[in-house]
Structure 1
Amino acid sequence: MFTLPCSLRLVSVLMPRFLRQFGLRTLLLFCTLAAVCFGLWRSHMTWVDRQHAIAQQIGEKNGSVRWGTWGPSWLHDAFGSRYFSYIITVDWQHKLIINQDLELLRELTSLEELDVAGNRISNKGLEVLGDLPHLRRLAVWRTLISDQGLKTIGKLKQLEVLDIQRTDITEQGLRYLGGLPKLKVLRHSLEVTDEGIEHLAAMPSLRLTTLSCRTLSEENLRWVAQQPKLQTVTIVAPQGNRWAEAFVGHPTLQSLTIAFADIQDAQMRKILEANTLTEIDLLNVSVSDAGLIALPPGGKLQRFQLMNTKTTPGGFLKVIGPTAVRVHIEPGWITLFDKNNNAKIEWYGRLTDDLWPNLAHCTSAKQFYCQAKLPAEDVLTSLGSQKELTNVFIHCPINDRVMEALAGLSKLEILRLHGQQNISPAGYGLLAKAKCLKTLSLLKSETNDQHLAEIGKLQSLTSLVLSGCPIRDQGIQHLVSLSNLEGLRLVNCPLLTDDAFREIAKLPKLQFLTGKGQCFSDAGLQHLHGMPTLRDVQFKGYISSPGLQALRDSLPMAGKASY
């Protein structure tokens, strides 16, 4: 009869009762399993500790990390999150790192997102990506990588988002990305041709949002138009003239730029009538006046630019002008702002004579600015038909006929004239008909005392600016009759002296006085002391700070708000 050794009999006696039901083989198997589990857990703890050490080294190189976690919440509550977390993101954007620094990443096999953009990273540095099989997002824009670097990136089968903008990568290198089954977003700054389109089409999950292309065939342009997430596209020198129809009414396309292209007027009208785009830029495109339409109310279009097209400035104003609330004209440039959606519509080209009479079509305009060379001083008489105008700035020579047209604007509130004008004193007197005129600014003009005699009759004025004008103290006397004038600005009028302040002190409602020039001194400010309505005075020149402060201290209304 077999008898257990004394040692085993002792173990069986000391063994807890609930374990005596198991055989020795079962207990040995249990102990082995427990040892393996504890070993694996210890290995995991070592791995996590190493990750924290790497995170510290990344931080010392100005980088940052983001941690992911795993396991149920009760484990985190019971034991803390340290050993249930792992690095999923490393951000080294613009941190002056080099290839050798990337070696730290080799042990981060769970890494999902990596941003090393803006650093001197080359193709050699990207070799570390071979140890990061779970990488989903990668940003290497503005680095030194080339097509050879894409060959390495093309092995990341889990990659979903890739940013390679402003690198030395060419469209030929895109062929290495064709085997990425999950790549959805590719951000690049390439201007692709038909070859590049073929490589993009080979990426099964890619969803193009932005694309710039050159000399594409009509077939490839139609493929581009079929991209369901397309938002911005630039098309340069395309082949054919029937491709534009494919972009009409695209559900997600927001910005369309077309350059050096042959587009039919009917196609352009369809694009505008579809009313789905927010930005349209046309450069050296064959569109004529017949391709334009009045923008529909409630449209999405925010910017429409025509540069060196076959459209004329007159035709542009005739079609777009009726809904413009702001008109801005400079040499070679017209800008309109549409009243329906505040869209900015720009036309670039040579300003021809047909422009000026067609200003009459801008019947909704409230603001008008002109700094272009006029074929004649009276061409702006068409402004008289713009009855909604409230603000006019003219930086070119005009005459009395234009002033008569402006005087007929019943809603005109602000008039600014810049530069030498051929306006007589009687021309300024015509403005008395503009009963709503509040502000008159004359900048670097030939306005003299005779002109001031007529300006002094404009009783509706509340603000007057005279800059660089050859006016004298005697001329200021004419302004005393401006019973509603609240603001006066005198800038670089060299013929004025301190005696001008004697007349200014007689203005019954003057609240704000500003000026600049070397013709005034502290002595002249004495005439303004105690003015009952004057609130603030700002002067630059020979007037000292103590003199200006003494004046302010003497004013009973100084510093008080006006209502």
Structure 2
Amino acid sequence: MTLTKSDPASTLRRWHSYSLKTLLIVMTVFAVLIGSRAQQAHDQNIATKRIRELGGEVTYDFKPSFEETYRRQMEAQVAVATGQQPPVYDDRPKAPKWLVDRLGIDWFARVTEVRLAKSMLVDDDLAVLTRLPRLRRLTLRALPNLTDEGLKHVGKLRRLEILDLSENSLVGHGYTDAGLAHLSKLTSLDRLTLDSSHIGDEGLKHLSELTKLESLSIESTQVTAAGLKHLKRSTRLRSIGTTIPMNDAMLASLEPFKQLELILPLHETATDNGLQHLRGFRQLKQLDVSDTQITDKGLETVATMSGLTSLSLRRTAITDTGLQQLRNLPGLTQLELTGTGISDAGLKHLTTLTALEHLGLNDTQIEGTGFRDLMAQKTLTSLGLSNTRLTNEGLAEIGKFAAVHILIVSHTPISIHGLHHLSKMTMLSHIDLSATSIDDEGLEQLKHLPTLKSLNVYGTEVSEAVAANNPNWNIVP
């Protein structure tokens, strides 16, 4: 076998040939990428200029959304009010400033949000939005010339996640049920606002494919409870904003949406049968059934809503016995029982509510002795007992709740001899003693409370001189 010696010059030529080919390929790919990016930047620049000409605003991906900006402003105000340093955010593009100034921001950032409100734009002006392929959030509010034709352009923005089309019928003809058909392909939408529009039940048919929806607002529209059946596949819905009365029919229409976290207060005609449609709504955070026909039987349904943090049963027909259904709601922080027939006997059923912060018992049969059953409630900060049968003996039990900040005991039979029981409530900042038999002598017993700032003594025997002698108290005479 004969071995041929490789020619170094030949090898070098082949290496150079391969290197040149590779370099040519790399340069070609690079040129294509640069060209593509240049075209995208050009398109975006045209779009942003036109949007601003129409009176709109844009947000780039390195900037917070308008909602986030508002949240930060509120956060900063709270920080300043509490003597803290407001947080600092770095919202600059990743590219060097000199390069951004040289080439323009559209080379280095994508527009993710557009807001157009009260603009005189016409439908065809919205075609420019298709030049923004990364658009996620779009607001088209109070546009007098927006019609179904304009929604055609909106329907091409397949990456949209948040869309606000509210208030358009207030200033113009607006869009119709038929126009919503253009939105049927926006399957990435998770929030849709259609408030104050002419849409009705037929319009919701076109939204049946929007299965990722988590929030839908249809306030001041012609949609009825029956129309919500078209959204039965949108099982991710956490919030439905509506002005439809929450009667039994409406509650029935909500049955498929077991992920709901918020619903409006129930209508006065709502009954236990209607409430049953919400059985097993474990994500629901707040429920207000005040002034309805709900009874103890309805509380059996409420007991299945294990995620509740706020429950209002004001002026319903519930009894002490019914309260035992609440023992399965350990996450409750707010409980309103004002205007019910609850007495001290019912308080023993609240012992498992160890997260409770506010308990409203105004206009009930409470005398106060039942609070001895609630000694485990270390988190209680607000207690309403106005117009009850509260006695000095009951006040002695209440005085053991050292974490209470706000105490309302107006229009009760307590006397000056009971106020000394409040000596251990060192966190009290406000007491309402209006329309009781308290006088100057009684108020003297409250002087040792270190955080007390506000007292309501309207309709009592307390004199104006007390206010003058206690400048640190804000006394409402």
Q: TM-score, normalised by structure 2?
A: 0.54
Q: How far did residue 425 of structure 1 move?
A: 2.6
Please tell me whether residue 365 in structure 1 is matched to residue 304 in structure 2: no
Instruction: Say if 1:317 and 1:359, in contact at 8 Å, map to a contact too.
Output: yes
Instruction: Say if 1:249 and 1:276, in contact at 8 Å, map to a contact too.
Output: no
Q: What's the secondary structure of 1:433's corresponding residue?
A: coil
Q: What's the secondary structure of 2:254's corresponding residue?
A: helix
Q: How far did residue 528 of structure 1 move?
A: 3.1
Pair 294,412 (structure 1): closer, same or farther in 2 beyond 3 Å: farther
Report 1 or 2 for greater relative contact order, CA contacts < 8 Å, sequence distance ≥ 6. 2
Rounded to whole Å, the distance in 1 between the matches of 2:392 and 2:225 is 59
Q: How big is each residue's C-alpha offset from its partner over 1:135-178, in whole Å with a ceiling of 9 and x where there is no partner? A: xxxxxxxxxxxxxxxxxxxxxxxxxxxxxx9xxxxxxxxxxxxx
- Of residues 347, 352, 376, the one that matches 1:428 is 347
Please tell me whether residue 410 in structure 1 is matched to residue 361 in structure 2: no
Q: How far did residue 514 of structure 1 move?
A: 0.9
Instruction: Say if 1:486 and 1:511, in contact at 8 Å, map to a contact too.
Output: yes
Q: What's the secondary structure of 1:517's corresponding residue?
A: coil
Q: How far did residue 285 of structure 1 move?
A: 5.4
Rounded to whole Å, the distance in 2 between the matches of 1:523 and 1:498 is 7
Rounded to whole Å, the distance in 2 between the matches of 1:308 and 1:535 is 42
Pair 294,453 (structure 1): closer, same or farther in 2 beyond 3 Å: farther
- Of residues 313, 330, 340, the one that matches 2:250 is 313
Q: Give 1:525's aligned residue.
A: 443
1:318-397 maps to which residues of 2 (within 5 A)?
A: 318-320=255-257, 322-331=258-267, 351=270, 354-397=273-316
- Of residues 411, 423, 428, the one that matches 1:511 is 428
Instruction: List runs of 5+ in structure 1 lacking aligned partners.
Output: 1-164, 166-184, 188-199, 214-219, 333-349
What is the identity, as a one-letter code, of the residue corresponding to 1:501? L
What is the identity, as a one-letter code, of the residue corresponding to 1:246? H
Q: How far did residue 465 of structure 1 move?
A: 2.3
Instruction: Say if 2:247 and 2:267, in contact at 8 Å, map to a contact too.
Output: no
Q: What's the secondary structure of 1:356's corresponding residue?
A: helix
Pair 552,501 (structure 1): closer, same or farther in 2 beyond 3 Å: farther
Rounded to whole Å, the distance in 2 between the matches of 1:528 and 1:470 is 22
Q: Give 1:43's aligned residue.
A: none
Question: In angstroms, what is the RMSD of aligned CA positions?
Answer: 4.5
Pair 331,496 (structure 1): closer, same or farther in 2 beyond 3 Å: same
Q: How far did residue 402 of structure 1 move?
A: 3.0
Q: How far did residue 287 of structure 1 move?
A: 4.6
Rounded to whole Å, the distance in 2 between the matches of 1:524 and 1:497 is 8
Q: Give 2:152's aligned residue.
A: 226
Pair 280,265 (structure 1): closer, same or farther in 2 beyond 3 Å: closer
1:521-560 maps to which residues of 2 (within 5 A)?
A: 521-530=439-448, 535-541=452-458, 542-544=461-463, 546-548=465-467, 550=469
* % identical aligned pairs: 14
Pair 435,304 (structure 1): closer, same or farther in 2 beyond 3 Å: closer
Q: How far did residue 524 of structure 1 move?
A: 1.0
Instruction: Say if 1:264 and 1:287, in contact at 8 Å, map to a contact too.
Output: no
Instruction: Say if 1:259 and 1:285, in contact at 8 Å, map to a contact too.
Output: no
Rounded to whole Å, the distance in 2 between the matches of 1:309 and 1:538 is 38
Please tell me whether residue 472 in structure 1 is matched to residue 391 in structure 2: yes
Aligned residues: 323
- Of residues 409, 416, 430, the one that matches 1:498 is 416
Q: How big is each residue's C-alpha offset from its partner over 1:328-375, in whole Å with a ceiling of 9 and x where there is no partner? A: 42426xxxxxxxxxxxxxxxxx64654211232320123332224115
Larger strand fraction of residues: 1
Instruction: Say if 1:485 and 1:510, in contact at 8 Å, map to a contact too.
Output: yes
What is the identity, as a one-letter code, of the residue corresponding to 1:315? A
Q: TM-score, normalised by structure 1?
A: 0.47
Rounded to whole Å, the distance in 1 between the matches of 2:214 and 2:442 is 63
Q: Give 2:222's aligned residue.
A: 283
Rounded to whole Å, the distance in 1 between the matches of 2:278 and 2:207 is 24
Instruction: Say if 1:414 and 1:438, in contact at 8 Å, map to a contact too.
Output: yes
Instruction: Say if 1:314 and 1:354, in contact at 8 Å, map to a contact too.
Output: no
Q: Give 1:84's aligned residue.
A: none
Q: What's the secondary structure of 2:346's corresponding residue?
A: helix
Pair 436,280 (structure 1): closer, same or farther in 2 beyond 3 Å: closer
Pair 294,544 (structure 1): closer, same or farther in 2 beyond 3 Å: farther
Q: How big is each residue's C-alpha offset from its partner over 1:57-87, in whole Å with a ceiling of 9 and x where there is no partner? A: xxxxxxxxxxxxxxxxxxxxxxxxxxxxxxx
What is the identity, as a one-letter code, of the residue corresponding to 1:268? L
Bigger radius of gyration among the two: 1
Please tell me whether residue 456 in structure 1 is matched to residue 408 in structure 2: no
Q: What's the secondary structure of 1:514's corresponding residue?
A: strand
Rounded to whole Å, the distance in 2 between the matches of 1:514 and 1:288 is 49
Q: How big is each residue's C-alpha offset from its partner over 1:521-561, in whole Å with a ceiling of 9 and x where there is no partner? A: 11112233445x554452333434542564688xxxx99xx
